[in-house]
Structure 1
Amino acid sequence: MPTSPSTGTIPFLTGSYTPDSGGDGPGIAALLLDPATGRMTYDGQVKPLPVSGASFLAAHPSLDVVYSTNETGTGTVSAVARSGDGTLSPLGEPMNSGGANPCHLTVHPGGEWLLTANYGSDTAPGTVAVHRLGADGRLLEPTDLVVHQGSGPVTGRQEGSHAHQVLLDPVGRFLLVTDLGADAVFTYRLDTRTGTLERVAVTTTRAGSGPRHLAFAPGGDLVFSADELSSTVTCHRYDTTDGTLTAVSSTPATTAHDVVNQPAGIVASPCGRFVWVSNRGADTVAAFRLTGTTLEAVDEVPAGGTWPRGLTLAAGHLLVANQHSGTLAALRVLDDGTLTHLHPPVAAPSVVCALAL
């Protein structure tokens, strides 16, 4: 992870909802993290870029290009170039995302394809789109669009499918797509010649669980899910031959019992011993220790604001995007997986995610 040679700080970007997407944030903003203290400051040399509804960011694997969802009913995705001094500028025009409310995206390791999950709406199903990327990282033509079908038992949330995350497995063989509305994880294989997706499996999750996001253990044999609707964290065995998941244990995402809680972000530690989850409702970040295939709750701390969404691991800290309070917190990760606040959060209106660079 690069640091500033003059200050020793870690650069990162945040994404936020903008006034035209139901928030009051700037779009994409540049900040710096001091890894010794957890103090965060805005990079005064980089002006925010007003990207509409920048709810998730992903970096190109080899170019100084970042991609953003534009989470609106008529969804688009954007490419953003970073210059040597960190300046942000649009790279080409936004492209149609192939569905309503794009909420997650990722770049294939080869750098030639962008994959996007569109949550959909009450009337539009969830979809997954593929876009070709140019040699300079700009968005080119869409090459495929798959439409999900399915529903679940939770009234008001699962009348139709809602694709929520696109995640490549650690070796890039399969693409996993969580579908909160269908209680399922869809597995695809990307044809890197044509940019088309072949569905190879569908894993049905516990009814009413609403899988939102996944995180792989470092070895790739286990994958953890933040289950938004059942407020649980589930450990699955991952079959690398066919991309299917088998649930082996599950635990409550929070110890709070007096709130309606919806887990959001989930991160696994590089050492493979810990998993962290953000809890909207409880407004906490929970820490779990992995023993075999069992997750044991070991800590739960205030998130530094309300409605914590994205979790990002950066230089020994978890960056927590607290959407409703408009605050961004940096929690120091201790050796036993527990968390502590070393410095107050910073103001970050309608912040939803962070991307370490």
Structure 2
Amino acid sequence: MPTRSSSDGVAVLTGSYTPESGGDGAGIAALSLTPATGHLARDTTVPPVPVNGASFLAAHPSLDVVYSTNETDPGTVSALVRRGDGQLSPLGEALSSGGANPCHLTVHPDGAWLLTANYGSDTPPGSVAVHRLDSDGRPVELTDIAVHEGTGPVTGRQEGSHAHQVLVDPAGRYVLATDLGADAVFTYRLDTRTGTLERVAVNRLRAGSGPRHLAFAPGGELVFSADELSSTVTCHRYDAGTGTLTGLTSVPATAVRDVTNQPGGIVASPCGRFVWVTNRGADTVAAFRVTGTTLEPIDEMSAGGTWPRGLTYADEHLLVANQHSGTLVALRVLDDGALRQAGPAMSVPSVVCALVL
């Protein structure tokens, strides 16, 4: 999607759980960020769009189209077109996600395929779905569903597979899908003629780690995982030729003790020197320096709210979506990777993600 900004700031969309999905948010709302100050403001010219369970947003690489998960059981995905004045309108009807509780999605770099991670439920298990997109960016056909299998040792969380993120590697060669329930990252090759997935590797991670999200370092040789169940951050070597990961080093995601903590969002800096992660439980954002393949804790500060889930890089800031307090906070990234709150927290009920346009 073309980047849009104005004298008022950088355009941002937020996704929230709605009453139908267990929250009290509006769905998708439009905001702006002023980079010079870190000030967040609601864009009053763009009314919210009541997308049910908008737990993750993604943009088309070349069209003014935004996609949203509808985290329900059964799940659906929605597409919205963004007009020149910023207004959002549904682009066709919501389509089945091919599974339950879709929680992440991304658009293939060629702009022709939408990939969705279905977290699943007791039945069905976690899966990755592929939708074909037409020339306008509209999802028109569900072309494949890759069902995951596997379990882990954590009672109540790993009795079955739970896909949590799907992304394309920096080379555009492989599709990677994390699975919190199976302690694995599944690697696929997408056939861009048919929209089908061929599994090429199953990368087994530490038992009980519960990989949630990945973030690639620039160049793609290293990838970092936010491990929800073990409360760690792990550095992996990525082989772009085979799509395989090799775990190298892990560190605790937080220095806060005596709290049950679940890492959420993870971001690698554009320069490759730093990694940041949100901590749900500790209610912090932790900063790490990357030295070779080692992660060194350098800073940890309040998330500006409770249960920080989504984390988004935006023009030398990190946008933190605090789900339980219903606040979005901009943290300024300093030269040494440390963080400082840049402006006041903004009320966005049940916010869980942000997308910079």
Normalising by the residue count of structure 2, what TM-score does the alignment of the two structures yield? 0.99
Counterpart in the other structure of 1:327: 327
Counterpart in the other structure of 1:275: 275
Q: Deviations over 1:295-342 (max 9, x none)?
A: 000000000100000100001100000000000000000000000012
**How big is the shift at 1:257?**
1.2
Counterpart in the other structure of 1:207: 207
Paired residue secondary structure (1:122): coil
**How big is the shift at 1:3?**
5.2
**How big is the shift at 1:6?**
3.5
Counterpart in the other structure of 1:38: 38
Paired residue secondary structure (2:130): strand
Counterparts of 1:1-357 in structure 2 under 5 Å? Answer: 2=3, 4-7=5-8, 9-357=9-357
Q: How many residues align?
A: 356
**How big is the shift at 1:348?**
0.4
* Cα distance in 2 for residues equivalent to 1:255 and 1:325: 22
* Cα distance in 2 for residues equivalent to 1:168 and 1:305: 31
In structure 1, stretches of 5+ residues that fail to align are none
**How big is the shift at 1:292?**
0.4
**How big is the shift at 1:248?**
0.6
Partner AA of 1:157 in structure 2: R
Runs of 4+ in structure 1 deviating by more than 6 angstroms, as ranges, are none
Q: Deviations over 1:74-131 (max 9, x none)?
A: 1000001100010011000000000000000000011000000000012320011000
Paired residue secondary structure (2:248): strand
Q: Does the Cα contact within 8 Å between 2:171 and 2:240 map onto a contact in 1?
A: no
Partner AA of 1:204 in structure 2: R
* Cα distance in 2 for residues equivalent to 1:145 and 1:263: 28
Name the % identity.
Answer: 76
* Cα distance in 2 for residues equivalent to 1:162 and 1:36: 40
* Cα distance in 2 for residues equivalent to 1:295 and 1:345: 29
Normalising by the residue count of structure 1, what TM-score does the alignment of the two structures yield? 0.99
Paired residue secondary structure (2:115): strand
* Cα distance in 1 for residues equivalent to 2:243 and 2:97: 25
* Cα distance in 2 for residues equivalent to 1:148 and 1:258: 34
Paired residue secondary structure (1:20): helix
Paired residue secondary structure (2:20): helix
Paired residue secondary structure (1:24): coil
Partner AA of 1:312 in structure 2: T
* Cα distance in 1 for residues equivalent to 2:22 and 2:262: 20
* Cα distance in 1 for residues equivalent to 2:22 and 2:35: 33
Q: Does the Cα contact within 8 Å between 2:4 and 2:11 map onto a contact in 1?
A: yes
